[in-house]
């Protein structure tokens, strides 16, 4: 909606357009952060049984969304490969040039193709590609600090 309002409807002069886009972007980031924090709070509160009876979202968290969330680093690292791969297959091998087909299948491939790719790579012994090395691990440094304090 912001893209349509700011770019296509020409409601603002070009001198103000860049500033308006920046403000709209910051508002979007704050909104997304706020929604994420509310969702996290609702799940934490349900875990502590304070709002378990009144919060439907916290009672029934989506296993699919949770799995996608825990796979976010893998998705971030490989979504360009899988999304672009499906776009190349659609365009060059299947002759599909519809924007919406590319957009929908590219997003699906970017998310689920990335997870599938990571699972296949870990089955053949390349799971280290998606893990933090031990020497950078926060858990290792935390354990070392605890050891030093005792």
Q: State residue 25's pLDDT score.
A: 84
Q: Where are the alpha helices (DSSP H) in the chain?
A: 2-3, 14-47, 56-59, 63-70, 72-88, 99-108, 114-123, 138-149
Q: State residue 15's pLDDT score.
A: 74
Range of the domain at 33: 1-61
Q: State residue 135's pLDDT score.
A: 75
Do residues 47 and 57 both lie within one domain? yes
Do residues 35 and 47 both lie within one domain? yes
Flag residues of the chain having pLDDT under 70.
1-12, 42-61
| Residues listed for the chain | 150
pLDDT in tens, 91-116: 999 999 999 999 999 999 999 999 99
Rounded distance between C-alpha atoms, residue 30 and residue 46, angstroms: 24
Q: pTM above 0.85?
A: no
Do residues 41 and 106 both lie within one domain? no
């Amino acid at each position: 909606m912001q893209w349509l309002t700011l770019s296509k409807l020409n409601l603002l002069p070009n001198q103000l357009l860049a500033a308006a886009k920046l403000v709209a972007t910051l508002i979007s980031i704050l909104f997304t952060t706020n929604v994420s924090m509310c969702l996290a709070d609702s799940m934490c509160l349900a875990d502590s049984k304070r709002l378990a009876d009144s919060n439907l979202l916290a009672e029934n968290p989506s296993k699919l969304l949770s799995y996608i969330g825990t796979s976010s680093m893998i998705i971030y690292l490989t979504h360009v490969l899988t999304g672009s791969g499906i776009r190349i297959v659609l365009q060059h091998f299947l002759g599909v040039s519809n924007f919406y087909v590319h957009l929908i299948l590219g997003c699906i491939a970017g998310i689920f193709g990335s997870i599938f790719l990571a699972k296949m790579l870990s089955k053949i012994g390349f799971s280290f590609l998606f893990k933090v090395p031990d020497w950078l691990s926060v858990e290792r440094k935390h354990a070392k600090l605890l050891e030093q304090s005792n």
